[in-house]
A and B are shown apart, each in its own frame.
Chain A
């Protein structure tokens, strides 16, 4: 089962000091409880940059494993994956020290604490998804192993391996048949067949067939992600089901008392992360750096919900709805984080950094987050209600009329519009012909003026002054019409009407 390991950890590049992981005991590690500046909403509870932890968010869980009211941090530590020997450990932290460790056989992809019975005191079981099985621990002792159901195997493939067992098939012929089957892509091949096809030389193939021809041919998917779903009530310590996503794009809902599959769903492609949500995009942000981890912050005492987003530039952004409410500066890139109750503290954010450090921050009880974010996202005004006048009965009536007579109304409007265009065109033409427009000239006209009177230069402004004398002693106002004509015609090129102000009477003093 080496394939699994490759897939699960391909993106992880750990740059820890090259020492055996087990020798770095968190108890001995440098621990400093620093006090942060007063402006921050977080208390720095624990900074340990050489904790040597290597995990992802889905393999971190906060749960009261022993039912003593103190929440433990459980995480699956991948260890130094560059070492040839896999050293995966399930670690339980009590406070900031490792209280218990147990070895795991394979790389896990998710750790979930869930309640599987109604016994008192409420002690959760720990489900660790790894490979094609879910290992269930109770009080950290192996309790149950649930294996994914067998998948259908192609008849031809079965036949081929049956023949191989009997020894009456050539390795080359086997290769041909299986290759054909692989390309036809109807039912995927088993891992055994795929391994066989990857072998380069004939000798290796022979050896492989010899070694594995007696093992049972089976095809199993592997788990990609796992979450829990409460079965009957929303209480935190209620019975829950496990929701498991697999490599062959299926989602199983597993009832955790008897480990039976309650429901199976098919996805279009293998699920990578599993979360219960609506799926509709509400808003979108571009962030200054790549996202390395995300987690939900649900702080019950203050009914505060936000999303923490860890970024590649050593920052953790807290988003409440679409507002950036807080930025936490960390000393390293955070690769995994989890928010919840830890120990006896309600709001703790536990972060695992790229270099294996463990950082714990506690949310201050006085912390308040305000939506005063101007730099990110749309302005607050967007949420302001527009003062729309209330809908009148008249409006509703008119809308109904519009609905009923839509076609007629549209037709009448279009007809009228054409009539109007005709009228406007006619009037416009008349005004142009009689030179009544104050804003003159089509392009040709201007050019012609230039051609005839060479002194005029296009683009220059010429001012002509003249005097207007008042010809009446009556206190009335009238207009003066200015017409600009070409010398040889009497249709004006353009005209302007100047409204004269009311004439002032002669004051007799």
Chain B
């Protein structure tokens, strides 16, 4: 039974647990939160009047949910609590990008089904027939059985039942069962109950895990500042624990507070100098704040500690290019291509090569690269956008505009295709279309100076009519 559990054991701390339906839940305290206190909307958004502390969206690309791209793909970086339901529904729902429609079913159900697939003779334990009352009394049996139910069978209801009985048996004094109860409630989306259990577990036995769990609960309740204060409490008890600092860094990142985020990641590196996530995030931040040469150092460090994959090579290639160490650039990209295992990776690499080709004015090469990026990933909106620009430059206005429109429909979160389309239309004299596009560009990125300029020009023109 334990062996089967081990097969599917996931680090609950890292699990992502938000779905589309979360947007409908009312757990968040304030509908219109104060700036800097919520991960939903304002501060997490480039349109905030106070302005993000990091580079502008024009410099640092955005994820689909309108957050600066991070250094490492985590489960939560693809989807966030931000945005409205309408936006989330509009976002192209591909397997790599968007969130499943319902909460806590999609991904976890998959983990559960994996075990069923692997045992054709039927389930190892018939859960329905178990007498939980009996097992709950015996601690030696109850714990492995709970873990089996929780991780392998993925039957949270039964697991909760067992945990509750076992907790009664231990009279609320065993931190283990309190945490397990918390985990069950957490998964079932009963965050207030989960919080209560985690807190009482902390009273009995402070543990790093519990701090992380409770910070997750608060994050889900959209209380990032409370989450940070809990993590700080944890740090006073476990001052050498990198995971706590890392969790803080992630929350700051979610709040778009780049400065604090970078400080926390640096702190992580002081505690654990091989932390891949911290190195990658710091490297990405340096890259987007115009210091590619330092970024290069960090990526090289990643290679040294054995992180060899196509993304790292691509990033090193880009860093070399931007810090003008030209002899290494293409070698890195070729290496990245040979390392790539998935089409998505290949598509990104070709897209980046295309960018480099544009900078070296090899327009034909750039076109080929962007088209290749599209071969490997049909939904590569950035490639469509760039293709559109190249074609416009070559005076193929119709094709160029078609490309830009495709990019618009593929990536409603990007302001670039909107702006480019508006500009092209403006030049062509189709002011109405231009106006429409520039409005959506400004909706996405309120402070984009060029968009504003066109917008002002157009409003003035229309006013004169």
Contacts and interface: CB of A to CB of B under 8 A. Distances in A.
Contact of B330 (A388, A394, A413, A499): A413
B326 interface: yes
B98 A501 contact: yes
Contacts of B94: 499, 501
Most buried by B among A412, A474, A497, A499: A499
A439 interface: yes
Interface in B106-120: 106, 109-110, 113, 117
Given A392-B291, A395-B293, A419-B330, A431 B353 contact: no
A398 B353 CA distance: 22
B450 to A, nearest CB: 14
A424 to B, nearest CB: 5
Interface in B347-386: 350, 353, 360, 362, 365, 368-369, 371-372, 374-375, 378-379
B324 interface: yes
Nearest to A434: B375
A427 B105 contact: no
A421 B327 contact: no
B294 A392 contact: yes
B240 to A, nearest CB: 30
Interface string B107-136: 001100100010000000000000000000
A409 interface: yes
Nearest to B110: A475
B415 to A, nearest CB: 21
Interface residues of A, number: 45
B289 interface: yes
Interface in A473-507: 474-479, 496-502, 504-505, 507
Contact of A398 (B93, B98, B113, B325): B325
Interface string B318-338: 000001111101110110010
A423 B334 contact: yes
Interface in A423-451: 423-425, 427-428, 431, 436-439
A439 B100 contact: no
Nearest to B354: A424
Contacts of B331: 416
Contacts of B375: 431, 436-438
Contact of A417 (B323, B360, B371): B360
B100 A412 contact: no
A339 to B, nearest CB: 39
A438 B106 contact: no
A100 interface: no
Contacts of A424: 350, 353, 365, 368-369, 372
A431 B327 CA distance: 29
Nearest to B366: A424
A405 B327 CA distance: 10
Interface residues on B, range: 35 or more
Contacts of A499: 94-96, 378-379
A387 to B, nearest CB: 9
A412 B334 CA distance: 14
Contacts of B457: none
B113 A417 contact: no
Interface string B277-302: 00000000000011101100100000
Contacts, number: 115
A395 B360 CA distance: 22
A431 B371 contact: yes
A394 B360 contact: no
B138 interface: no
A389 B322 CA distance: 14
B101 interface: yes
A446 to B, nearest CB: 12
A428 B368 CA distance: 6
A502 B95 contact: yes
Contacts of A497: 378
B461 to A, nearest CB: 20
Contacts of B290: 388-389
Nearest to B108: A475
A398 B323 contact: yes
Given A389-B289, A392-B293, A501 B93 contact: yes
A496 B294 contact: no
B100 A502 contact: yes
A401 interface: yes
Given A398-B323, A408-B327, A438-B374, A420 B333 contact: yes
B49 interface: no
B284 to A, nearest CB: 15
A504 B372 contact: no
Interface string A399-416: 001100100111011001
A420 B291 contact: no
Contacts of A498: 378
Nearest to A432: B371
Interface string B72-100: 00000000000000000000011110101
Contacts of A402: 324-325
Nearest to B291: A389
Contact of B371 (A398, A419, A428, A501): A428
B369 A496 contact: no
A394 B106 CA distance: 47
A402 B325 CA distance: 7
Contacts of B353: 420, 424
A402 B321 CA distance: 12
Contacts of B333: 420
B459 interface: no
Most buried by A among B109, B294, B378: B378
A437 B93 contact: no
A427 B297 CA distance: 32
B368 A410 contact: no
A65 B96 CA distance: 89
A323 to B, nearest CB: 21
A425 B329 CA distance: 19
Contacts of A413: 326-327, 329-330
Contacts of B432: none
15 contacts: A388-B290, A394-B297, A401-B325, A409-B326, A416-B329, A421-B362, A421-B365, A423-B334, A425-B368, A431-B371, A438-B375, A439-B387, A475-B105, A496-B378, A498-B378
Which are the 5 A-B pairs with shortest beta-carbon distances?
A416-B330, A499-B94, A477-B95, A412-B327, A413-B326
Given A413-B330, A424-B365, A424-B369, 19 more contacts: A392-B294, A394-B294, A394-B297, A395-B293, A398-B323, A409-B326, A416-B334, A420-B330, A423-B337, A431-B371, A431-B375, A477-B95, A496-B378, A501-B93, A501-B94, A502-B100, A504-B100, A504-B105, A504-B106
Interface of B: 93-96, 98, 100-102, 105-106, 109-110, 113, 117, 289-291, 293-294, 297, 323-327, 329-331, 333-334, 337, 350, 353, 360, 362, 365, 368-369, 371-372, 374-375, 378-379, 387, 403
